[in-house]
A and B are shown apart, each in its own frame.
Chain A
């Protein structure tokens, strides 16, 4: 059981927008603005897409955006493209004995 809860799957058609949620607690997502999102294609290493809730690393498309409300963080992908089909993981810093936790991952299917 992961510390952060994500939906197992989401889907959308090309050009549409989707949002993936990441629900934690007041010890992690709700306490710190240290939430990142990673994209992972099959048999590839993860790639950071969003960090510190809303920031995009250089080179990441501005179709990717992040936000947070209370204990839940969100990743929104607008203008869906076939290449966006991948697994997405959220991660957060926590105040617990394990300072970094991942969500269980969400499989994005582009229809």
Chain B
């Protein structure tokens, strides 16, 4: 069965960077794009970007351009999301989610979420 297992919770200081990992199993890793979506406490979902694990190409939300980097390691079927210049309003649960269509709007499997807390 499809599984996305994310790295553990992080606490970071303002201005620092964080790197969250998402290890995929149960399917052919390179065949499906992967989203990163975040959710601040008590707030809604926010799309951050998407990576093509096969080519390594990425598309980021305009809001995060210059601050987010998504990469993949095909040898371990893992995608990574690094967010830099952290601010307190980056405190959120970060999810990876597998995309199963060409519309980029059908994420059928999600990771368990990684809480990133930004605090001085």
Query: Which one of B63, B101, B105, B110 lies within 8 Å of A45 (CB-CB)?
Result: B110
Query: Which one of B63, B95, B111 lies within 8 Å of A98 (CB-CB)?
Result: B63
Compute how far the CA of A99 lies from the CA of B47 in the bound complex, rounded to whole angstroms: 9
Compute how far the CA of A100 lies from the CA of B62 in the bound complex, rounded to whole angstroms: 11
User: What count of chain A residues pass the 8 Å CB interface test?
Assistant: 29
Compute how far the CA of A99 lies from the CA of B103 in the bound complex, rounded to whole angstroms: 10
Q: Which partner residue on chain B sits nearest A105 by CB separation?
A: B44
Question: B45 in the interface, Cβ–Cβ < 8 Å?
Answer: yes
Q: Given A45-B111, A57-B108, A99-B59, is A89 in contact with B103 using a C-beta cutoff of 8 Å? A: no
Q: From A34, A45, A103, A104, name the one whose CB has the most chain B CB atoms within 10 angstroms.
A: A45
Compute how far the CA of A89 lies from the CA of B97 in the bound complex, rounded to whole angstroms: 15
List the one stretch of A10-18, A46-54, A64-72, A78-86 in contact with chain B.
Answer: A46-54
Check if B106 sits within 8 Å of A97, measured CB to CB.
Answer: no
Task: Specify which chain B residues have a CB less than 8 angstroms from the CB of A89 in the assembled complex.
Answer: 44-45
Query: Which one of B35, B59, B63, B105 lies within 8 Å of A34 (CB-CB)?
Result: B105
Check if B103 sits within 8 Å of A52, measured CB to CB.
Answer: yes
Q: From B45, B95, B113, name the one whose CB has the most chain A CB atoms within 10 angstroms.
A: B45
Q: Which partner residue on chain A sits nearest B101 by CB separation?
A: A51
Q: From B50, B63, B101, name the one whose CB has the most chain A CB atoms within 10 angstroms.
A: B101
Compute how far the CA of A98 lies from the CA of B110 in the bound complex, rounded to whole angstroms: 21
Residues on B lying within 8 angstroms of A by beta carbon are: 35, 37, 44-47, 50, 59, 61-63, 95, 97, 101, 103-108, 110-113
In the assembled complex, 19 residue pairs joining A and B whose CB atoms fall closer than 8 Å, in A order, are A34-B104, A34-B105, A45-B97, A45-B110, A45-B112, A46-B37, A46-B97, A46-B110, A48-B107, A51-B106, A52-B106, A89-B44, A93-B103, A93-B104, A97-B62, A98-B62, A99-B59, A100-B47, A103-B44
Residues on A lying within 8 angstroms of B by beta carbon are: 2, 32, 34-36, 38, 40, 45-48, 51-52, 57, 87, 89, 91-93, 96-105
